[in-house]
Amino acid sequence: MKYWGFFLAKLAAAAAVMHGLWLAIDRLLPEPEIFLYTHLPRFPNDLPWTIAILVYCLFSLGLLALIVLDQRSRCRICLRRLRMPVESGSWSRATLFAPPRISLICPYGHGTLDEPVAHVSAQPPTEWHAHGDIWKELEALDRDRR
């Protein structure tokens, strides 16, 4: 639940920034002058306004893409960035038997994210594997040695 709440908080912050940018564009670029007793709309008839809308749309889509990419590479439990990429699989058998994958690990041992490297249609999607308490597992292994 914390994972999705953080995602919604980032989306809300981005929406606030984009709304402020929209208000700044609206305030800085004046209405076009009345032409032959006709009030023309801003978008297709005013070049600075049209360019500002284009840049605004590209910036907002880029910001949304960055938010989604950042969220996908975070731990589902503690929200820290996943680290330590480990490659597995084989490029020579990439279609069926052992497709190449990258495993990203939470630095506190909460889980592992397996992402495909080669994007083929028969490949399973990105998977999150939650781990138990890693310290209890390590202590159990140490006790078994003694």
48-86 pLDDT, tens digit per residue, is 889 999 999 999 999 999 999 999 999 998 999 999 898
Does residue 78 form part of some domain? no
**Mean pLDDT of all residues belonging to the chain:** 86
Regarding whether 100 and 62 lie in a shared domain, the answer is no
Residues 78-96, mean pLDDT to the nearest whole number: 82
Regarding whether 87 and 59 lie in a shared domain, the answer is no
Q: Would you say how long the chain is, in residues?
A: 146
| Residue at which a domain ends, from 16, 49, 72 | 72
Q: What pTM was estimated for this model as a whole? A: 0.77
For residue 74, give the nearest of 27, 33, 110 by alpha carbon: 110
Does residue 14 form part of some domain? yes
Host domain of residue 36: 2-72
User: 3-state SS of the chain: helix, strand, coil percent to 5?
Assistant: 45, 15, 35
- How far, in Å, CA of 72 to CA of 24, rounded? 31
N- to C-terminal Cα separation, the chain = 40
On whether the CB atoms of residues 102 and 122 are closer than 8 A, the answer is no
Regarding whether 39 and 88 lie in a shared domain, the answer is no
> In the prediction, which pLDDT does 33 show?
72
Residues 100-129, mean pLDDT to the nearest whole number: 84
| Residue at which a domain ends, from 41, 72, 103 | 72
